[in-house]
Amino acid sequence: MARILSLVMGLTWALWSGAGLAAEPVKIGFMTAYSGPFADMGKLIDAGARAYLKANGDTVAGRKIELITRDTTGPAPEVGKRLAQELVVRDQVDFLVVGGFTPETLTAGSIATAAKKPLLIVNASSSNLTDKIPYGVRYAFSFRQITQPLGVWAAKAGYKKMMTLVSDYGPGIDCENAFKDGFTSNGGTITESVRTPLKSPEFGPFIQKVKDAKPDALFVWVPQGEQALGVVKTYFERGLDKAGIKLVILGDDIDEPVFNALGDKVKGLVTSLHYSTAHPTAENKKFLKAFAEVTGNAIQPNFMAVAAYDSMAAIFEAARRQNGNLSDSAKTLEILSSLKFESPRGKIVIDPKTRDITQAVYIRRVDNHGGKLENVEFETIPDVKP
């Protein structure tokens, strides 16, 4: 009887509080690049977040989730700052989610900190970013995190002399250093590091240089898109595979466009990343299904979409734990920065001290998987710090 009574009381309370708050949706200021050269990134991030709402409903603790989307147009810091300010001051959002690069994440971060609104970082990946954003929590990755294990793997796989080829800017240099670190501390030698101009559409000369130098293997990271496609294409066109120079590459460079353009040639390429569509878990299947429904199968999800998906999961959890009452932003931040849950990519843990993400990194090989090419994970390095 007492149990029934408490149940009824609990239910009434839930209904009452739910009804009281139902009028007020949880507002999420969702900033990413919807136009311009990075529009494809924005599309993935947007769809990733919507996939979560599709799979889990758009209501949490009695409150509806409202995404207020804003176009950052790409790495434009002052636009990021303005949008974040307007979202906070005018739209009174409860959370900011920034799916962009480091500059606009930092300027939005200064607003988030001044206004004490939690900011979820779902794409920016420079090292120690959360140090500069006291109200920021990272649900993405850092380049160091996903590159260093690949260097370790390459040394253990028996490569002795390697060259690196990266784009000549911050992230590229982060990757170069992290790879070198992992590789040389396990007995390998980097004979030469090549850096290519940021806007170079032509990789012929650089790849030729590598071919002439004949290392055991080549580590590559350049920005996704035509650059990644260009460098991999040139690698095969110049016959480096036939010359016995292996290619080891960061996983974000090897996805759908590369598979479509090069086909079976890329089979056997080894990459590292924190997410693969081939990740064999129920959570990932759920994500893939929802993502396909949201996009009508038009695009393939990737790690960016997963980070956006996870940011929604984190917001849901924060709302749930506080029964929908998000008025204490310090409390919300505390919850967001100590979460631990199963993501489509695997287990993720946020370190409360750094508010940065610790996650597994996978070494993968391109192979047939369910009738098409995918990055199939064959080695897991658990709990890699950012």
Partner 1 sequence: MIGNFLGVLFDGVAYGSLLFLIGIGLSVTMGLMNFVNLAHGAFAAFGGYVCVTAMNQMGVPFLASLPIAFVLTALVGVLLERTLYQRLYKATPLDQVLFSIGLTFMAVAGMTYVWGPIQQPVRLPEFLTGQVHAAGMDFGIYRLFLIAVVVVVTAALVYVVDRTRFGAQVRASVDNQQAAAGLGINVNRVFALTFALGSGLAGLGGGLGIDVLGLDPSFPIKFMVYFMLVVAVGGAGSIKGTLVAGLVLGIFDVAGKYYVPQIGAFVIYALMVVLLVFFPTGLYGKKT
Partner 2 sequence: MTASPQHRLPDGRWRAAELAIWLLPVIGYFAAPNYLLLGSQIFIVGLFALSLDLILGYAGIVSLGHAAFFGVGAYAAGLLASHGWGEPISGLLAGAVAAALVGWVTSFLVVRGRDLTQLMVTMGIGLMLFEAANKAAFITGGVDGLSGMVMGKVLGVFDFDLEGRVAYLYSVAVLFLVFVVLRRMVYSPFGLGLRGLHHGPKRMPAIGASVYRRQIAIFTIGAGVAGIAGALLAQTTQFVGLDSLGFHRSAELLIMLVLGGSGRLYGGLVGAAVFMIAQNYLADLNPVYWQFWMGLLLVLVVMFARGGVLGGLAALQRRFGTKTK
Cβ 182 to partner 2, closest distance in Å?
22
Helix (H, G, I), strand (E, B) or coil at 91: coil
Task: Dig out the tokens for 55 from the structure.
Answer: 């799979």
Cβ 40 to partner 1, closest distance in Å?
4
Nearer to partner 1, 258 or 339 (CB): 258
Enumerate the β-bridge partners of residue 350.
Answer: 357
Q: Does 230 bind partner 1 (CB under 8 A)?
A: yes
Pattern 7-46, binding to partner 1, x per CB under 8 A? ----------------------------xxx-xx-xx---
Given CA atoms 273, 345, 105, 337 in this order, what sign does their dihedral have? negative
Q: Does 261 bind partner 1 (CB under 8 A)?
A: yes
Nearer to partner 1, 57 or 239 (CB): 239
Q: Are 161 and 191 in contact (CB under 8 A)?
A: yes
DSSP code of residue 76: -
Q: Does 202 bind partner 2 (CB under 8 A)?
A: no
CA distance 105 to 80: 7
According to CB under 8 A, which residues from 232 to 261 bind partner 2? Answer: none
Q: Does 341 bind partner 2 (CB under 8 A)?
A: no
Helix (H, G, I), strand (E, B) or coil at 48: helix
According to CB under 8 A, which residues from 50 to 69 bind partner 2? Answer: 69
DSSP code of residue 66: E
**Residue of the chain from 24, 86, 168, 367 that contacts partner 1 (CB under 8 A):** 168
Count of residues interacting with partner 1 (CB under 8 A): 41
Nearer to partner 2, 168 or 317 (CB): 168
Cα angle 67, 318, 110 (rounded to 5 degrees) comes to 65
Nearer to partner 2, 80 or 344 (CB): 80
Enumerate the β-bridge partners of residue 249.
Answer: 220, 271
DSSP code of residue 25: P
Stretch that binds partner 1, among 176-184, 196-204, 346-354, 370-378 (CB under 8 A): 196-204
Q: Does 238 bind partner 1 (CB under 8 A)?
A: yes
Q: Are 339 and 350 in contact (CB under 8 A)?
A: yes
Nearer to partner 2, 43 or 180 (CB): 43
Q: Does 305 bind partner 2 (CB under 8 A)?
A: no
Q: Does 257 bind partner 1 (CB under 8 A)?
A: yes
Nearer to partner 1, 233 or 286 (CB): 233
Q: Determine how many CB atoms are found less than 10 A away from the CB of residue 322.
A: 15
Q: Does 205 bind partner 2 (CB under 8 A)?
A: no
Length of the chain, in residues = 386
- The radius of gyration of the chain's CA atoms, rounded to the nearest angstrom, is 22
User: Minimal CA–CA distance to 121: which of 106, 138, 133?
Assistant: 138
Dihedral of CA atoms 268, 269, 275, 278 in degrees, nearest 10, equals -20
> Which residues contact residue 4 at a Cβ distance below 8 angstroms, ignoring those fewer than 6 apart?
none
According to CB under 8 A, which residues from 117 to 136 bind partner 2? Answer: 126, 132
Q: 358: part of which helix (H) or strand (E)?
A: strand 356-369
Q: Does 173 bind partner 2 (CB under 8 A)?
A: yes
Which of partner 2, partner 1, none does residue 371 bind (CB under 5 to 8 Å by kind)?
A: none
Task: Dig out the tokens for 259 from the structure.
Answer: 């598979």
Q: Does 8 bind partner 2 (CB under 8 A)?
A: no
Residues that bind partner 2 (CB under 8 A): 34-36, 39, 69-71, 73-78, 81-82, 85-86, 88-90, 101-103, 106-107, 110-111, 114-115, 126, 132, 168-171, 173, 197-198
Residues that bind partner 1 (CB under 8 A): 35-37, 39-40, 42-43, 168, 194-202, 204-206, 208-209, 212, 225-227, 229-230, 233, 236-239, 256-257, 260-263, 298-299
